[in-house]
Structure 1
Amino acid sequence: MIQLNSVSKFFRNSLQKTYVLRNINLQIQAGEFVTIMGPSGAGKSTLLNILGLLEQPSEGEYLFEGMATQKFNERKRSDLHKHQIGFVFQAYHLIDELTVYENIETPLLYKNIKSQERKAMVAEILDRFQIVAKKDLFPHQLSGGQQQLVGVARAIISKPKLLLADEPTGNLHTRQGKEIMELFSRLNKEDGITIVQVTHSERNAAYGDRIIELVDGWMESDKKVEDSLAQS
C-alpha cells in the first residue's frame, strides 16, 4: 500500500538545509498496524504528515497503492484525503460549534453523499461506538475519552483504507487510552484498516505489528513488535 523510496524532508534557512527526515525507505502492506516511535524532534509527525499527504517530501518518492503522489494535482490529493485516508489527532480537532452527530457527519458532506444515506451511515457508527445518547451534545460537554471516540468515528465514517493517528491517547487517562487502543485493534483486525500511529507509549505500540524507530530524522530500526519491545 505504502512505499517510501529515499524520502527526505528539509527546510531551507538562507543557504543551509535543515533536515527533519533523512533517506527514509519504508514499505507498509495493506492491513498492517505500524507504530512510529522515537524521541521528540525525531521527525515522527513529519513522517506521518507525508504519509497523509499533508506535507510533501523534499527528496525521494512516495508511492500510495503504486501511484507516485508527487505527481498528484491538488484535486487528486483532495480526493485521496476524502476517500482513502482518515486522521486522528491528540488534540481531537472537533468543531466546537457542531454536535457529536454533526461532527461525525462532516466528512460525508464533503463527499456529497445524499441526506438519507448520510443519516444511515451516522446512525450505524453512533450505534457501533455506543455514543447514540451523546449525539446531540457539543464537544465541551464530553470527557476527553468521549471526544477522542467521536474523533475516531469521524475519521472512519468514510471507510478509509488508511488511518493515521498522531499520539491518539496523549491527552487521555490510562483507562480511556486503553479503550481507544482496543478500538484501533478491532478496526485493524475486523475491518482491515491499515493503521499507522505515532506514540511514545510502549503499551500502545504493543497493539501493532511493527515498530519503526526514528532518531534525528534517520530510520534507526524497523522490527516486529515482539522483537522491538523485548530489547527495550
Structure 2
Amino acid sequence: MLSLKNISKYYQAGGNKVSILNHVDLDVEQGEFVSIMGPSGSGKSTLLNVIGMLDEPSEGYHYFMGEAVHNLKEKQRSAMYKQYIGFVFQAYHLIDELTVYENIETPLIYQNIKGAERKALVADILDRFQIVGKKDLFPSQLSGGQQQLVGIARALITKPRLILADEPTGNLPSKQGEEIMELFRKLNREDGVTVIQVTHSEKNAEYGTRIINLLDGKIESSKNL
C-alpha cells in the first residue's frame, strides 16, 4: 500500500541544515495497524505528515497505492489524499462555526458528492457513532471525547483506505482514550482500514500489529505484535 524509500526532511536555519528525518525506509501493507513511537523531536509527526502528503520530503521516494507520489503535482497529491486518507488529530481540528453535522459533511462537499447522498452518508455515520443527538451542537458544546469522535467520524465519512492518527487520545481522559483506541482496532479488524498512529503511550501502541521506534529521525527498531 505504502512504501517510503530513503526519505529525508531538513530545513535551512541560519545557514545550518536541521534534519528532521534521516533516510527513512518504511513499507506498510494494506490492513496493518502501525504504531510509531519515539521521544519528542524524533520526527514522528513529520513522518506522518509526509505519509499523508501534507508535507513534502526534501529527498527520497514515496509510493502510495501504486503511484509515485514524489512525481505528482500538488493538485494530484491533494486529490489522492482526499480520496484515500483520513486524518485524526490530537487537537481535533473541528471547525468551531460549524455544527457536528456540518463538520462531518465537509469532506463530502469537497468531493462534490450530491446533497441527497451526503445526507444519507452523514445520517449513517451519526448513527454508527451514536451521536445523532449531538448533530446540531457546536464543538464548544461537546466534551473532548465527543469532539474526537466527531473528528474520527469526519475522517471516516469518505471511506478512506488509510487512517493517520497523531496522538489521537492525547487530550482525553483514560476511559475515553480506551474507547477511541477500541474504535480504531475495530475499524482495522472488521473494516480492513489500514491505521498508522503516532503515540507516546505504550498501551495505545499495543493496539497495533507493529510498533516502530523513531530516534533522531531514523527508524531505530520495528517489531511485530
**Could you tell me which residue of structure 2 aligns to residue 189 of structure 1?**
189
**Could you tell me which residue of structure 2 aligns to residue 20 of structure 1?**
20
Q: Deviations over 1:87-120 (max 9, x none)?
A: 0000000001111000000000001111100000
**Take 1:103 and 1:61, find their aligned partners in 2: how far apart are those partners?**
34
Equivalent residues of 2:11, 2:18 under 8 A apart: yes
**Could you tell me which residue of structure 2 aligns to residue 10 of structure 1?**
10
The one-letter code sitting in structure 2 at the alignment partner of 1:33 is F
**Could you tell me which residue of structure 2 aligns to residue 148 of structure 1?**
148
Partner of 1:97, secondary structure, is: coil
**Take 1:90 and 1:139, find their aligned partners in 2: how far apart are those partners?**
14
Q: Counterparts in 2 of 1:173-188, with a 5 A limit?
A: 173-188=173-188
**Could you tell me which residue of structure 2 aligns to residue 58 of structure 1?**
58
**Could you tell me which residue of structure 2 aligns to residue 88 of structure 1?**
88
**Take 2:128 and 2:189, find their aligned partners in 1: how far apart are those partners?**
16
The one-letter code sitting in structure 2 at the alignment partner of 1:169 is T
The alignment's C-alpha RMSD in Å is: 0.8
Matched, 1:219 2:219: yes
Partner of 1:172, secondary structure, is: coil
Structure 2: tracts of 5 or more residues without a match: none
The count of residues paired between Structure 1 and Structure 2 equals: 225
**Could you tell me which residue of structure 2 aligns to residue 205 of structure 1?**
205
**Take 1:187 and 1:97, find their aligned partners in 2: how far apart are those partners?**
29
What percent identity do the matched residue pairs reach?
Answer: 64
Deviation at 1:14, TM superposition (A): 4.2
Range with greater deviation from structure 2 (39-48 or 78-87): 78-87
Range with greater deviation from structure 2 (153-162 or 6-15): 6-15
Partner of 1:50, secondary structure, is: helix
Structure 1: tracts of 5 or more residues without a match: 226-232
The structure 1 segments of at least 4 consecutive aligned residues displaced by more than 6 Å after TM superposition are: none
Deviation at 1:70, TM superposition (A): 1.1
**Take 2:59 and 2:13, find their aligned partners in 1: how far apart are those partners?**
17
**Take 2:144 and 2:85, find their aligned partners in 1: how far apart are those partners?**
23
